[in-house]
Chain A
Amino acid sequence: MKKQLFIFFLMLAFVSCKTEVKKRTGKLQIVTTTTMITDMLKNIGGDVVEVKGLMGSGVDPHLYKASEGDVSKLFNADVVIYNGLHLEGKLEDIFEKMQKQQKHIIAVSNAVNKNGLISSEYFASSYDPHIWFHIDYWKQATKYIIEELKKLDPTHTATFEENGKQYLEKLDALSEEVQKIIAQLPVEKRILVTAHDAFNYFGKLHNFEVVGLQGLSTATEAGVQDVQKLANFIIEKQVKAIFVESSVPKRTIKALQAAVRSKNYQVIIGGTLYSDALGNAGTEEGTYIGMYTYNVKTIVNALK
């Protein structure tokens, strides 16, 4: 036993238990889940709030696993802002419980009218959570978050309003630009085949027929029949390109491509789209606006 105690103390020597001083800069501490929301909050909040995102670039929100640092982020947070509509899975239950622990919890999806949401075929109460692909909904969400922030930190009302106005203007500009690009593509060519059903709102906004190989949740696998059916669909509609997503493995789309090829039709992989997460921070695709433009350009260029 003496020896075991020895090991214990030895191991202790390597553990630096530096006590964390809770940084109280007086700024509102905001924790966000997805990269899209993080980007929005950084735009609205600017320097007067501290925004910390839980999920990194390329992380699938359905399959997100927390790291140790996330515990402290959540613990120190004043406000937690998440997407909602079951995008974050079981995490949402915990957020709801945190609401009862004097933390402010805001779901971005609350901003959008339930009638405008796309609901599940079988279960009316569950909705498609990928609302950020509808620019109008994202603008509603932005306005909603600005109002909430004003309530939480009234001293910086002016800043939030000013930043928010600028961000909304940028979104308007984005909307126009995107429409111009998409107008180059004839309506009959607007068919978007992706790894999972993330682009339904995108399709709704821009008149695309959207087909996902995997269904809403990325946790399920595509069945053999799904692949064959989709392959036939691609040939029938003469689709030129299909797309992989940054947060979903390429394997399934590659399988689809092979299935199409075996039926003597060539379909190319049109590029990688950002669906559930933005690109790396510091790059153009690391912002919501950059991501959206990139996606649209990739889609239009490949399908033209």
Chain B
Amino acid sequence: MNSAQIIIQIIIALVAIACAIPGTFLVLRKMSLISDAISHSILLGIVIGFFIVEDIASPLLIVLAALAGIVTVILVEYIQKTGLVKEDTAIGLVFPALFSIGVILIAKNANDVHLDIDSVMVGDLSFAPFDLLQINCIEGVPDSCINLGPKAIWVIGTILVITLTLLITFFKELKVSTFDAGLAAALGFSPIIMHYGLMTVSSITIVGAFDAVGPILVVALMIAPAATAYLMTKDLKKMLMLSCFLGVFAAISGYWLAHVLDASIAGSMTTVLAILFLLVYEPIITSALVSISIAIAFFFYQYYQELLVHGVNFEHLPLGEKIHTVFSKFILLDFIYCIGMAVSLAGFLIYILPKRGVIYGYYKVQQQKTEIMLLVFLLHIRNHEEESERHVKHLNEHINWQRLRSKTIVDLALKNNMVTIDDSIISLTDKGEEFTEKAIDYIITNKDAEIEEMKDDFFLFRG
């Protein structure tokens, strides 16, 4: 690692935290889209600033950019307050309008000046380490400046300190006004002030971070970590900490992904953010896909290196042919290794990931259904002394189960040593007896939740 790489990682970690804090509140307030809206409408601020000072490098442009962001929020709030349109619609109405005014102003008045967001803000993390803050410069004298380190660290650092101070000071107020604006108003602190305060902080953070890391990454760092954290916890403090952690983690690992691939830094980070979200949202499918891609990439990379060492020159080939050349060197054994690696990785990922996701949810519901049926079945056996009621064939008619289902239930009961079958007559074992009795106790005393815990003690196999 050289110092430029370290600086990039410091900057991106600071940006990730500075974005995650307002981002968490935006996600909770269902206002995620506002971050995208602000990052567009700042163009208008930049254009107006340019007409005032006629200098692209002036800091006034940045100030007006942040102001344009706040104007966006005020307009959205104003339209939405009428109650005629919903919040997301209001956002979608306001920012394209402001952005378009900016575009028209450029087209009419400054068509041959290279004026757009890119020309005022660097927006590329790769160059942030070289963009130093310099003071005391004497015009025309080299080495006369005092270097204070990268500008981005100063800008983002300041924003982060302000955000953190505000967060700690107004944490209680923010919390109440986010979850219950009515209560906040009744308790005497205006939810409107909280709202505009939060939006101002978001707007300044977006403009500041935009300069350092570019538009897509700002939006991604604001929303993705917070959305992921929201799936993992319902506690605000934990959510804030988790989204900071996830943001920094994705940023750093995304950086190294970019290093390995020699690709765009912002692109790699956003990809990692998306994968993190998917891992939490739908762990099983995602971990399988991720594992397969990692396994393939691993082998691909090794062959690529090997071919390079042997002096095969494919620098000039288009990407498709490059991939083809490398894959044509694969042999069957590699594919088997590849699959093995993918399977073991996927297993590991599934094992360590929180048990969530659509498939897991479906599986869980089915399991619950079967276990409730098992309980019904056991109760039935316990309540009937007469053999006719306990005959295997009889169960179908009596409890009105289909054959397949009743077979599943009986098998499950047998596997767990809860029943025995003599001459097609089912009877409870001692263990089955005990389980049923306890279950009845819990149902009578209204402690249904305890049954779940009890199942862990009794079941060798789950439904």
Interface set of A (CB-CB < 8 Å, partner B) = 3-4, 6-8, 10-11, 14-17, 19-20, 22, 62, 65-72, 74-76, 86, 89-91, 93-94, 97-102, 120-123, 126, 215-217, 219-220, 223, 280-283
Flag if A3 contacts B142 (CB, 8 Å): no
Tell whether, in the assembled complex, residue B113 and residue A123 are in contact, meaning their CB atoms are under 8 Å apart. Answer: yes
Q: Would A219 and B116 count as touching, CB distance under 8 A?
A: yes
Name the A residues within 8 Å of B122 (CB-CB).
Answer: 90, 93-94
**Within the complex, what minimum Cβ distance (angstroms) separates A222 from chain B?**
11
CB <8 Å contact, B118 and A90: yes
Q: Which of B268-306 contact A (CB under 8 A)?
A: 268, 279, 294
B3 touches A75 (CB 8 A): yes
Decide: A75 near B348, CB < 8 A? Known: A68-B255, A70-B126, A126-B113: no
Q: Are A68 and B127 in contact (CB under 8 A)?
A: no
Count of chain A to chain B residue pairs whose CB atoms are closer than 8 Å in the complex: 134
A223 touches B107 (CB 8 A): yes
Does B265 touch A at the CB level, under 8 Å?
A: yes
* Contact between chains at A215 and B253 (CB < 8 Å): no
Instruction: Check A99 against B112 for contact (C-beta < 8 Å).
Output: no
Given contacts A90-B122, A217-B112, A219-B116, 18 further A-B contacts (CB under 8 A): A7-B352, A10-B352, A11-B253, A65-B264, A66-B124, A74-B4, A75-B3, A89-B119, A90-B119, A97-B130, A99-B142, A100-B134, A100-B143, A100-B145, A120-B112, A215-B112, A280-B316, A281-B316
Contact with A along B34-69 (1 / 0, CB 8 A): 000000000000000000000001000000000000
CA distance A208 to B123 in the complex (A): 38
* Chain A CB within 8 A of B323 CB: no
Whether B258 and A68, one on each chain, are in contact in the complex, defined by CB atoms closer than 8 angstroms, is yes
Closest-by-CB residue of A relative to B8 is A71
Contacts of B120 in A (CB 8 A): 90
| In contact, A217 and B249 (Cβ under 8 angstroms) | no
Asked whether B5 is an interface residue with its Cβ less than 8 Å from the other chain, the reply is yes
Given A10-B352, A99-B142, A220-B107, the answer on whether A68 and B126 have CB atoms closer than 8 Å is yes
- Asked if B189 lies at the interface with its beta carbon under 8 angstroms from chain A, I say no
Evaluate whether A122 and B112 lie within 8 angstroms (CB atoms) in the complex, with A19-B1, A99-B142 already known. Answer: yes
The CA of A219 and the CA of B116, in the complex, are separated in Å by 8
- Is A3's CB under 8 angstroms from B353's CB? yes
CB of A17 within 8 A of CB of B1, answer yes
Query: Would A15 and B265 count as touching, CB distance under 8 A?
Result: no
A281: chain B residues at CB < 8 Å are: 315-316
B285 vs chain A, min Cβ distance (A): 17
Q: Are A123's CB and B114's CB within 8 A?
A: no
Are the C-beta atoms of B112 and A100 separated by less than 8 Å? Answer: no
Q: Does B415 contact A (CB under 8 A)?
A: no
Chain A residue at minimum C-beta to C-beta distance from B137: A100
Question: B411 within 8 Å of A by Cβ?
Answer: no
- Once the chains are docked, how many angstroms separate the CA of A11 from the CA of B249? 10
Whether A94 touches B131, Cβ cut-off 8 Å, given contacts A68-B258, A75-B2, A217-B114, is yes
Task: Report the Cα distance A283→B353, complex, angstroms.
Answer: 50
Closest partner residue, chain A, to B121 (CB atom) = A90
- Alpha-carbon distance between A278 and B8 when the two chains are bound, in angstroms: 31
- A sample of 13 inter-chain contacts (CB < 8 A) reads A11-B249, A65-B124, A66-B127, A67-B126, A67-B258, A67-B263, A71-B4, A71-B129, A75-B3, A93-B122, A94-B130, A122-B113, A219-B118
Tell me whether A68 and B259 are in contact (CB under 8 A). Answer: yes
Inter-chain CA distance A63–B258, complex, in Å, is 19
Complex partner residue of A74 from B130, B132, B258, B259, CB under 8 angstroms: B130
Bound form: Cα–Cα A216–B111 in Å: 9
Chain B residue numbers with a CB within 8 Å of A216 are 112, 114
B442 at the interface (CB under 8 A from A): no
Which residues of chain B have C-beta atoms less than 8 A from A70's C-beta? 126
Nearest chain-A residue to B133 (Cβ)?
A97
Closest to B242 in A: A4
- Asked if A66 and B354 make an inter-chain contact with CB atoms under 8 angstroms apart, the answer reads no
10 tightest Cβ-Cβ pairs between the two chains A and B = A66-B126, A68-B258, A75-B4, A69-B262, A282-B316, A15-B256, A217-B114, A68-B259, A120-B112, A6-B352
Q: Are A71 and B352 in contact (CB under 8 A)?
A: no
Please indicate the chain A residues that have their CB under 8 angstroms from the CB of B5 in the complex: 71-72, 75
* A266→B39 CA distance, assembly (Å): 44
Task: Contact check, A97 vs B354: say whether CB atoms are below 8 A apart.
Answer: no
Closest Cβ of chain B to A110, distance in Å, is 15
Q: Which residue of A lies closest to B279 (CB)?
A: A7
Residues of A within 8 A of B262 (CB): 67-69
Known: A3-B353, A4-B245, A14-B294. A86 touches B2 (CB 8 A): no
